[in-house]
Amino acid sequence: MIALQPTDDQKMVRDSVAQFAERTLRPRLREFERARDLPDDVLQAAHGMGLPLAAFPEAAGGSGLGVVTQVLIEEELAYGDPAAPFALGGPGAYGWAALLFGGPEQGKALLAPFVGEGAHTRVGAVAWGEPRACRDRGGMVTTAERSSSGQGWTLRGEKAYVLNADRAQGFIVFAQVDAARAWEGLGAFVLPCDAKGLRVLPRLDTLGLGAASFGGLALDGVEVSDDARLPLAGDAQRLAWFFATQGLLVAARCVGLARAAFETTRDYCEQRKAFGKPIGHFQAVAFTLADRNMDLEAARTMVWHAAWLWDEVARGAEGSDARSALLHSAWAVSFAKEAAMRAGDDAVQLHGGSGFMRDYPVEKWMRDAKQMQLCGMTAEQADQLAAAIALGRPIDPALVLPGAESQNVFV
Amino acid sequence: MTIEFSPNKRQRETQAMIHQFAEGIVRPESLKWDREHGIPHDFLRRIVMMAQSMGSSALGVNRGSGEAEEVDLETRKKRQIALTTILSAEEMSWGDAGLLLCLPGPGLGAPPVRASGTPEQRQRFFSIFEDMSQELRWGAYALTEPGAGSDVSGIRTSCRKDGKHWVINGRKCFITNGARASWNVVFATLDPSLGRAGHRAFVVEKGTPGFSVGKIEDKMGLRASETAELVFEDCRVPEENLLGGEESYKSKEGFMTAMKTFDNTRPLVAAMAIGIGRAAYDYAVGFVKDHYVLSRPIPRYAALAERLARIGRQLEAARMTTWRAAWLADQGEPNAREASICKAMAGGAAIRACIEAIEICGAEGSISGEHQLLEKWFRDIKVYDIFEGTGQIQRIVISKRLLPDLKAF
């Protein structure tokens, strides 16, 4: 059936998150930005509502609400403050990677610390990006070599663009295990933050999403045991899944940002007068608002569609297939990311000089929108993914996966 | 309720059936129809027969608008009439949009008669479509004039009561199937100074004294479809053909009838545009597969891939807004803003798709041939950002919904 209305349960979740976003996040977004962090009371409230665990399977300690519910949550959070969903902590990308590359059992074990008492202080992170492209082959510069004892692995290299690097207790680090197999020769390893030889690099100053933290890791001969390796990381298709789903969550946040920027700007255009009437009553302004409204409606429904396809794949529904979910995610990612950027840009533009001032939130949203375009998966990578699927071509990791060769993104 | 995106079994079967029909039977004839400015009646009759033999939901496109009665909300929700119609329309237009416009039946005349006609009128004007085994019949919708298009309040075709008749004078233009129609829904005004309150809608039957067909337009695209000018010179319409009867015009009903029609038909036109755009997109994807050496890194490939992806996603964006507008209609909820959104998005996205598909295929893309319909689609699609309200008009509608105080620019 085609139906476009959340279930009663989903509405309840969405409404409570919306209330949290409007009462707690929106009024304080400048405070979070200045503090470069979310305060403890906000983290506790969000974790108390179960937001970071909503989409994870019940078997792994999550709420099992599925990706559709998760994108509804992400939109509302970002509507409050686009930086908030990036800064909430919890398992985040670490959890998704644990399940996808570790399988259900290992995934469950890795998610365990994020459930229960004190969970709001726990953060997981994924270290994927690298500062430089690998010159002589596909894949990564960071290597994982068999330790001299023949047991375990030794990791060497530098990871970059890591979301929550300085807050995480645990990392999933990607490194080259088999150089000859290029992208297919990647491995993923679980590391605690206090592993010997692991150094967290200084936090970066970024254009937007100031409350979130972006950094990197230096790996100077970090030793890990055999069971720290997640077995399923050397599969380009699976890696594309990972980035497409992470990208989709960011796309849902883009929808929230676009909605915030649109609504605020529409209200402003109704109040601000020029030449004796509200500026919204001039066609050049009104049409811009109409275009951003069109973007918003389309982006939201596209995100829902892709999310629904992932839920269908997860429950093994008849006729569901991951390539279709990948394709629709790719479309949703590139559309929503560009839509959010247009929304932020036009919001500042229609606010005129005031928009450039920090008295209004729109300049922040414009910066946040650009930053979001560089999180999860870029529109360009998503386009390459969509085209590969449409053309029936194998997914080329060099074009589709984030990297110094295509574009680096924050994961 | 829930969030789901899978057409139901009946909708899927209808889509598949139309797709097969479009690919195997329609496309091979498409260019010929375009060149000959029409579709042979034998062919149209076959379609009508086929639709009847396959049961009610076959070719759901026409059926959705062919019913005399407004169905009640529960039935509408259950059968998803608007959604089924747009799903079918996309598929049919993927084959040939001109064919869809040529299909016998009440066409765009149906919504106003259904929404505003008296029970007697609905019976009289719809019953002629029940049996078309001997003679094909059409209905049509005549609103646009040489001096008034989207600005409906500017129509100048006049009407005045004279005994048991109404006398109509004026011209209507760009009327799809207007010349062949058994009846046209014609909008006229008692007095332009009365504005919307002066508008009246009539069902003018073929052969009515004083009614004649003017020129048949020579168009850029959609050449299989007939577009006519209608001329009314002291045209005497019996009073029982005043749509809804005189009582119903105590309010702004005349204008509202015209507008209601648009809320219903904009998603349908959007779906047609998406069908044409998808045809071009599919062709370009196939062309790239066949002609580009994808196994080695050609610098152009990544740029080309990005272009294809952009076309695909813009069409998908338009499709999602169209589904949304139709879904709201089936829920009995207001959808004027959404209907305009999908119409504006679909027109824009599909035109880009057709333009870029030709570019991607290079010189070959512009050459007309039996299996090469890109140049035809390029011609067909342009009007989808024009008729049923231009992209600019849609943005006016959307703006007014977004800014409640905005009455006019």
- Mind listing the pLDDT tens digit for each residue in B339-362? 999 999 999 999 999 999 999 998
- What's the rounded Cα separation, in Å, for the pair A137 and A135? 6
Which structure tokens are listed for A63?
A: 């709420």
Residue B403 DSSP label: -
Q: Which of B310, B338, B406 has the CB atom closest to A280's CB atom?
A: B406
pLDDT at position B259 over 70: no
Give me the pLDDT at residue B72, please.
83
Residue A153 DSSP label: E
- A 10 A CB-CB count for A201 gives 16
Q: Please state the three-class secondary structure of B235-281 as a single string.
A: EEEEHHHECCCHHHHHCCHHHHHHHHHHHHHHHHHHHHHHHHHHHHH
Query: Which is more confident, B11 or B256?
Result: B11
Segment A127-155 mean pLDDT: 93
Segment A222-238 mean pLDDT: 94
> B4, A391: Cβ pair inside 8 Å?
no
How far is the alpha carbon of B2 from chain A, nearest alpha carbon, in Å? 5
A residues 316-345 lying closer than 8 A (beta carbon) to B: 319, 328, 330-331, 334-335
How far is the alpha carbon of B212 from chain A, nearest alpha carbon, in Å? 40
Give me the pLDDT at residue A148, please.
87
Strand B139-142, strand B183-189: pairing: parallel
Q: Are A29 and A80 in contact (CB under 8 A)?
A: yes
How far is the alpha carbon of B302 from chain A, nearest alpha carbon, in Å? 7
What pLDDT band is residue B255 in, cutting at 50, 70 and 90? low
pLDDT at position B55 over 60: no
Reported in sequence order, the residue ranges of B128-269 that DSSP labels E, i.e. its strands, are 139-142, 158-162, 165-176, 183-189, 199-205, 211-216, 227-238
What pLDDT band is residue A387 in, cutting at 50, 70 and 90? very high
Q: Which of B2, B80, B327 has the CB atom closest to A7's CB atom?
A: B2
Segment A156-176 mean pLDDT: 97
Q: Which of B6, B313, B403 has the CB atom closest to A334's CB atom?
A: B313
Of the candidates A89, A75, A74, A81, the one whose C-alpha atom is nearest the C-alpha of residue A29 is A81
Give me the pLDDT at residue B297, please.
58
Q: Are A382 and A278 in contact (CB under 8 A)?
A: no
Give me the pLDDT at residue B60, please.
45
Distance (Å) of CA B258 to CA B89, B151, B190, B300: 22, 11, 16, 49
The pTM of the full predicted model, rounded to 2 decimals, is 0.93
What pLDDT band is residue B252 in, cutting at 50, 70 and 90? low
Helix (H, G, I), strand (E, B) or coil at B141: strand
Q: Are A367 and A283 in contact (CB under 8 A)?
A: no
Give me the pLDDT at residue B365, please.
87
What pLDDT band is residue B131 in, cutting at 50, 70 and 90? confident
Phi, psi angle pair for A129, to nearest 5°: -70, 160
Q: Are A103 and A119 in contact (CB under 8 A)?
A: no
Q: Which of B11, B316, B327 has the CB atom closest to A331's CB atom?
A: B316
How far is the alpha carbon of B399 from chain A, nearest alpha carbon, in Å? 5
- What's the rounded Cα separation, in Å, for the pair B97 and B18? 13
Helix (H, G, I), strand (E, B) or coil at A337: helix
Which residues does residue B105 pair with via DSSP β-bridges, in sequence order?
B138
Q: Which of A280, A287, A384 has the CB atom closest to B306's CB atom?
A: A384
Give me the pLDDT at residue B138, please.
96
How far apart are the two ends of chain B, measured CA to CA in Å? Answer: 39
- What's the rounded Cα separation, in Å, for the pair A72 and A371? 21
Give me the pLDDT at residue B407, please.
87
Least confident of A394-408, B43-57, B177-191, B298-312: B43-57
Give me the pLDDT at residue B293, please.
72
> A301, B338: Cβ pair inside 8 Å?
no
The string over A80-98, giving b where at least 16 C-beta atoms fall within 10 Å of a residue's C-beta and e elsewhere, is: bbbbbbbbbbbbbbbbbbb
Instruction: Tell me the chain B residues in contact with residue A340 when contact means C-beta distances shorter than 8 Å.
Output: none
Q: Which of B3, B83, B409 has the CB atom closest to A304's CB atom?
A: B3
Among chain A residues, CA nearest to B306: A383
- What's the rounded Cα separation, in Å, for the pair B347 and B351? 6
- What's the rounded Cα separation, in Å, for the pair A113 and B399? 50
Q: Are A70 and A199 in contact (CB under 8 A)?
A: no
The per-residue DSSP string of B27-78 comes to HHHHHHHHHHTS--HHHHHHHHHHHHHT-TTTTHHHHHHH-SSPPPHHHHHH
Query: Which is more confident, B313 or B149?
Result: B313
pLDDT at position B56 over 60: no
> A386, B313: Cβ pair inside 8 Å?
yes
Give me the pLDDT at residue B295, please.
64
A144 in B contact zone (CB under 8 Å) = no
Instruction: Tell me the chain A residues in contact with residue B343 when contact means C-beta distances shorter than 8 Å.
Output: none
Give me the pLDDT at residue B59, please.
52
Q: Are A376 and A245 in contact (CB under 8 A)?
A: no
Which structure tokens are listed for A33?
A: 């930005």
Instruction: Tell me the chain B residues in contact with residue A71 when contact means C-beta distances shorter than 8 Å.
Output: none
> A301, B2: Cβ pair inside 8 Å?
no
What pLDDT band is residue A96 in, cutting at 50, 70 and 90? very high
A residues 252-311 lying closer than 8 A (beta carbon) to B: 266, 269-270, 278, 280-283, 286-287, 289-291, 293-294, 297-299, 301-302, 304-305, 308-309
Segment A245-266 mean pLDDT: 98
What pLDDT band is residue A196 in, cutting at 50, 70 and 90? very high
Chain B interface mutation, best of A254, A265, A301, highest count of B Cβ atoms under 10 Å: A301
pLDDT at position B69 over 70: no
Chain A interface mutation, best of B287, B403, B407, B409, highest count of A Cβ atoms under 10 Å: B403
Give me the pLDDT at residue B303, please.
86
How far is the alpha carbon of B8 from chain A, nearest alpha carbon, in Å? 5
Distance (Å) of CA B356 to CA A108, A405, B277, B282, B365: 48, 27, 10, 12, 10
pLDDT at position A2 over 60: yes
Apex B365 CA angle, B33 and A395, nearest 5: 120
Give me the pLDDT at residue A263, please.
98
Chain A to chain B Cβ contacts (< 8 Å): 165
Catalytic, B226? Answer no
Of the candidates A200, A201, A170, A176, the one whose C-alpha atom is nearest the C-alpha of residue A188 is A176
Of the candidates B64, B101, B74, B85, the one whose C-alpha atom is nearest the C-alpha of residue B11 is B85
Q: Are A293 and B402 in contact (CB under 8 A)?
A: yes
pLDDT mean across residues, chain B: 90
pLDDT tens sequence across B160-174: 999 999 999 999 999
The string over A214-243, giving b where at least 16 C-beta atoms fall within 10 Å of a residue's C-beta and e elsewhere, is: bbbbebeebbbeeebbbeebbbbeebbbbb
Give me the pLDDT at residue A405, please.
81
| Set B145, B229, B375, B388: catalytic member | B388
Contacts of B256 (CB under 8 A, 6+ apart): none
Contacts of A200 (CB under 8 A, 6+ apart): A165, A166, A193, A215, A216, A217
Give me the pLDDT at residue B301, please.
78
pLDDT at position B58 over 50: no
pLDDT tens sequence across A172-189: 999 999 999 999 999 999
Residue corresponding to tokens 């496109």: B61
Distance (Å) of CA B398 to CA A131, B171, B216, B392, B402: 46, 30, 33, 10, 6
Q: Where are the alpha helices (DSSP H) in A123-235?
A: none
- What's the rounded Cα separation, in Å, for the pair A348 and A354? 8
CA B371 to chain CA centroid, nearest Å:
26
Phi, psi angle pair for B337, to nearest 5°: -65, -45
pLDDT at position B276 over 80: yes
Give me the pLDDT at residue A352, please.
95
- What's the rounded Cα separation, in Å, for the pair A161 and A343? 25
pLDDT mean across residues, chain A: 96
